[in-house]
Structure 1
Amino acid sequence: MQMATIFIGFVIFGFSENIKGPAIPRIQFDFRLSEAQLGTLLSLNALGYLIACSFTAYLTKMWGIKWVTIAAFASMAASGILIFYSHYYPLFAASYFFMYIGNGMLEIGLAILSAKIFLKNTGMMMNMTHGFYGLSSTVAPLIATGLMKVTIVGHTLDWRGMYLIMLLLSIIPIVIAWFSTFPGDDILHEDRISLKDLLKDRVLWLVVLVLTFGVVSEMAVGGWLVNFLEKAYNWDTVQASGMLSIFFLCFALARLLLGPITDRIGFVLSLMIFSGFSALCTCIAVVGGERVAFLFAASGIGIAIIYPTVMAFIATRFPKGSDTAITFTVTLMGLGSVIGNYLIGGVIELVKHLAGEDSSTSLLRGLQAGYGFIGLCAALCSITSFILYVYLYRRKEVI
């Protein structure tokens, strides 16, 4: 029952995060949103996520992980109902924001719950659960597109009905969690590691750096790969989107199949090797040109392992403070990810300017530099993993 809550939870999490692609153009048309308004709406994703990070660990201590998990799913189901009845933009924007509060709570809640349940083969199980997120993310746009065309009793569901149906799926894990008991809720408050004590541990700060560099490299691909292929190599949208789909396929399969390796060779060594592989693939793809563009997709094999393996490391390193450690680490990672994406855009513009705005190759050089920065983040993830490994090795604490 506990595992069903986690696996189904990650499937629904993947749906809720990635059904927006086909819906966004229709939402923009219905509310007559400008590009700036649309950008503001999408920025609610990061804002809601960060706000949820700030209080989810506190709620976990007060209510227990079971009720926090149920509350996260319930808020997502409620947001689906609110979105369905949002015929005016202010109410829709508030409902959308509320949905991402639920998403943020769910991500933190599922990570904490996984840390408490997967005490054996932690790396494999963490990667497998996140692999289900990857699989549901892959099919979410297709399901959303199909649902928006469905007609029931003469009424087309469109994007409102689609959001309602997809988010009401959250009721399934609510029922499962309701009849489950979760380990860890019986740990007394005085037995938990405080945030003050955690902040004194250099390992936690190194983990923050590892996760931030890794996630910047992971998340940036979704935002920049299609843009790079279209503008640098003149690929059409179908070709470029196909390469992105292959990246996500590699990403999902790596999490499903390569998790046992992390348990066998160790979490920190896995972080160093897989992030280094991703950096190598990305850099060769940028320098090698169009003929090795497939390496952009192959980089997903390496970078996919980072987030779940870091969660496995935290669960093992801080068994009585995993909720606080995960929340602190993921919150700083979120801030770092925002900064990282701004830097990618800044690097592109800077190199374009240095190459000469009127130059025929300035855009190409800018895009190469920007995507090269994504590879650099993966390399920095590997380097900080190496530093973490050396630090733990000297203290005989390698996990």
Structure 2
Amino acid sequence: MLRSFCSLYLYASLKIIPPGGHPLKAQSQTAAEQTGSSVGRPASAKRYLLPMATVFIGFLIFGFSENVKGPAIPRIQTDFLLNEMQIGTLLSLNSLGYLLACSFTAFLVRKWGVKWVSLLSFGLMALTGVLIFYSRTYPALSGSYFLMNIGNGMLEIALAVLGAQIFTRNTGTMMNLAHFFYGLSSTVAPMLAAGLMTVSVGGHVLDWRGMYMVVLLLSVIPMIPAFLGKFPEKALADEERIPVKTLMRDPVIWLVVIVLAFGVISEMAVGGWLVNFLEKAYGWTNSSASGMLSAFFLCFTFARLVAGPITDKIGYTLSLILFAGFTGVCTFAAILAGEPGAALFAVAGIGIAPVYPTVMALIADRYRQNSDTAISFIVTLIGVGTVAGNYLIGVITDGIKRVFLASQGPETGLLRGLQAGYGFIGFCAVICSLASLALYVYLKKRKELL
């Protein structure tokens, strides 16, 4: 079934757009013809396959590297005797590294080309796998995590740029498929991590250090098509852009920043905190908790595919209100129901999954000629928000735990702290929904509803 599905996507990507096709796709086609690029044409399918393989395999690796941390976090906390605030600080380095990558990756792409930036990001991720393996102190681990997430951030931007360059026909279709591969690896990642941490090699258990090294060394695989492939010479920087100062005067851009920042916090925090919550709040085993995280990503993955027609039918902003609100309700219901309601943590993935691609579609439709400028501006700002988000979860968890520690004992104190910290994830989804409502009202008044 998956093979047939992928074949259908690939067929769609190579089809010539009929007259009257989507204006964005037609615009991309014209741009490719003007630059003399043959990328995306059926006649150059052989040249197209290696860059395409780089994107798809790259998203697989990206999903693994970002989502193996869930099962590893409790082990890291035990080995280094860390409190929840220190865990929050460690996880906030994910967003901080990504934010730093946003500040220079676009420049590197213009200077060196997307091919060499892709190779650099894959190589950096492989190197950090070795560094994490040899980390024996919390500062060393924090530094390695920071470097790993610079590589992750560079990779995400490089893959986005490469995808935009090679998917000149049916861009939305192919981008959805690329994110589907990310979702697949994200689904498998927690179970893979939990399994690898129990594997013995030469009488030594891999544990979380060995697991990270094995997973991140997989980054060498997509370096092969990236090195052998012939990538487009022209960069997207040639496109005429509006000044950032002009962009900043648009109220819509700031509402979109709020929507996406809180949506991304709610999405990304699950990978770092769900396993930790289930193990410590309900005494679940690492494999069982990792299985629930995999279930979250399974819901997340398929929701990104099936939500597309719903979004097209009812509109972007209304979709954001409903999707984010659904996640907030599921998260709070799961916490209030206790262990019997734990499955709702996974179901929450259905709502939060479409938020990111829906916002990207909204940006593409509103800022047709300058979507890359708008995306770069927004992604940089949401990076700041996600750094603060993960740190706040740790602070809230640790703070509430201390409040209840004296009056209700350590076990109840920890439970209340974990509930409050994870409740912040649901709160972020609710804020995302409310900000989407404000965006809906603003655009409707101006008759610019999308």
Please indicate, yes or no, whether the TM-score normalized by the shorter chain is above 0.5. yes
Residue in structure 1 matching 2:386, options 313, 317, 337:
337
What is the letter of the counterpart of residue 153 of structure 2?
A: G
1:105 is displaced (CA, Å) by 0.5
CA RMSD between the two structures = 4.0
1:194 equivalenced with 2:243 (yes/no) = yes
- The 8 Å contact of residues 252 and 304 in structure 1, kept in 2 or not, is answered as yes
Task: Provide, for residues 222-255 of structure 1, a one-character-per-residue CA deviation record: whole Å limited to 9, x for no partner.
Answer: 3433444455555555544433332222122222
Task: Provide, for residues 87-141 of structure 1, a one-character-per-residue CA deviation record: whole Å limited to 9, x for no partner.
Answer: 8879887665433221110122223444555577666554442232222123235
1:33 is displaced (CA, Å) by 5.2
1:134 equivalenced with 2:183 (yes/no) = yes
Relative to 1, partners in 2 of residues 1:91 and 1:233: Cα closer, same or farther, differing over 3 Å? Answer: closer
Taking the aligned partners of 1:198 and 1:93, their CA distance within structure 2 comes to: 35
Residue in structure 2 matching 1:272, options 300, 317, 321:
321
Taking the aligned partners of 1:355 and 1:28, their CA distance within structure 2 comes to: 21
Residue in structure 1 matched with residue 371 of structure 2 by the alignment: 322
Taking the aligned partners of 1:25 and 1:369, their CA distance within structure 2 comes to: 18
- The 8 Å contact of residues 71 and 276 in structure 2, kept in 1 or not, is answered as no
Relative to 1, partners in 2 of residues 1:345 and 1:101: Cα closer, same or farther, differing over 3 Å? Answer: closer
- The 8 Å contact of residues 344 and 371 in structure 1, kept in 2 or not, is answered as yes
Residue in structure 2 matched with residue 60 of structure 1 by the alignment: 109
Task: Provide, for residues 327-352 of structure 1, a one-character-per-residue CA deviation record: whole Å limited to 9, x for no partner.
Answer: 33222222212322343344456656
Q: Which runs of 5+ in 1 are unaligned?
A: none
Taking the aligned partners of 2:165 and 2:369, their CA distance within structure 1 comes to: 9
SS of aligned partner of 2:297: helix
Q: Which range moves more in the overlay, 216-225 or 115-124? A: 115-124
- The 8 Å contact of residues 115 and 312 in structure 1, kept in 2 or not, is answered as no
SS of aligned partner of 1:193: coil
Residue in structure 2 matched with residue 48 of structure 1 by the alignment: 97
Taking the aligned partners of 1:88 and 1:237, their CA distance within structure 2 comes to: 22
Q: Which range moves more in the overlay, 268-277 or 86-95? A: 86-95
Q: What is the identity percentage for the equivalent residue pairs of Structure 1 and Structure 2?
A: 59
Task: Provide, for residues 71-95 of structure 1, a one-character-per-residue CA deviation record: whole Å limited to 9, x for no partner.
Answer: 32343345456668x6887988766
Residue in structure 2 matched with residue 185 of structure 1 by the alignment: 235
1:377 equivalenced with 2:439 (yes/no) = no
1:218 equivalenced with 2:272 (yes/no) = no
Residue in structure 1 matched with residue 9 of structure 2 by the alignment: none
Residue in structure 2 matching 1:4, options 30, 42, 53:
53
What is the letter of the counterpart of residue 430 of structure 2?
A: A
Taking the aligned partners of 1:93 and 1:368, their CA distance within structure 2 comes to: 26
Relative to 1, partners in 2 of residues 1:202 and 1:5: Cα closer, same or farther, differing over 3 Å? Answer: farther
1:57 is displaced (CA, Å) by 2.5
Residue in structure 1 matching 2:437, options 381, 386, 389:
386
Residue in structure 1 matched with residue 304 of structure 2 by the alignment: 255
Alignment map for 1:334-373 (pairs within 5 Å): 334-348=383-397, 357-359=406-408, 365-373=416-424
What is the letter of the counterpart of residue 374 of structure 1?
A: I
Taking the aligned partners of 2:74 and 2:343, their CA distance within structure 1 comes to: 29
Task: Provide, for residues 276-304 of structure 1, a one-character-per-residue CA deviation record: whole Å limited to 9, x for no partner.
Answer: 11112223333344443322221111011
- The 8 Å contact of residues 334 and 343 in structure 2, kept in 1 or not, is answered as yes
What is the letter of the counterpart of residue 449 of structure 2?
A: V
- The 8 Å contact of residues 70 and 271 in structure 2, kept in 1 or not, is answered as no
Taking the aligned partners of 1:290 and 1:304, their CA distance within structure 2 comes to: 24
1:303 equivalenced with 2:352 (yes/no) = yes
Residue in structure 2 matching 1:72, options 121, 131, 135:
121
What is the letter of the counterpart of residue 188 of structure 1?
A: D
Q: Which runs of 5+ in 2 are unaligned?
A: 1-48
SS of aligned partner of 1:397: coil
Instruction: Report the TM-score when normalising by structure 2.
Output: 0.71
Relative to 1, partners in 2 of residues 1:146 and 1:82: Cα closer, same or farther, differing over 3 Å? Answer: closer
Q: Which range moves more in the overlay, 9-18 or 224-233? A: 224-233
SS of aligned partner of 2:408: coil
Instruction: Report the TM-score when normalising by structure 1.
Output: 0.79
Alignment map for 1:74-223 (pairs within 5 Å): 74-79=123-128, 97-115=146-164, 125-143=174-192, 145-146=195-196, 149=199, 158=206, 166-178=215-227, 179-182=229-232, 185=235, 188=238, 191-223=240-272
Residue in structure 2 matched with residue 244 of structure 1 by the alignment: 293
Taking the aligned partners of 2:355 and 2:289, their CA distance within structure 1 comes to: 25
1:175 is displaced (CA, Å) by 4.2
Taking the aligned partners of 1:364 and 1:79, their CA distance within structure 2 comes to: 34
Task: Provide, for residues 160-183 of structure 1, a one-character-per-residue CA deviation record: whole Å limited to 9, x for no partner.
Answer: 776565445434434434524449
Taking the aligned partners of 2:365 and 2:332, their CA distance within structure 1 comes to: 33
What is the letter of the counterpart of residue 377 of structure 1?
A: C
- The 8 Å contact of residues 278 and 300 in structure 1, kept in 2 or not, is answered as yes
Taking the aligned partners of 1:54 and 1:176, their CA distance within structure 2 comes to: 27
- The 8 Å contact of residues 275 and 381 in structure 1, kept in 2 or not, is answered as yes
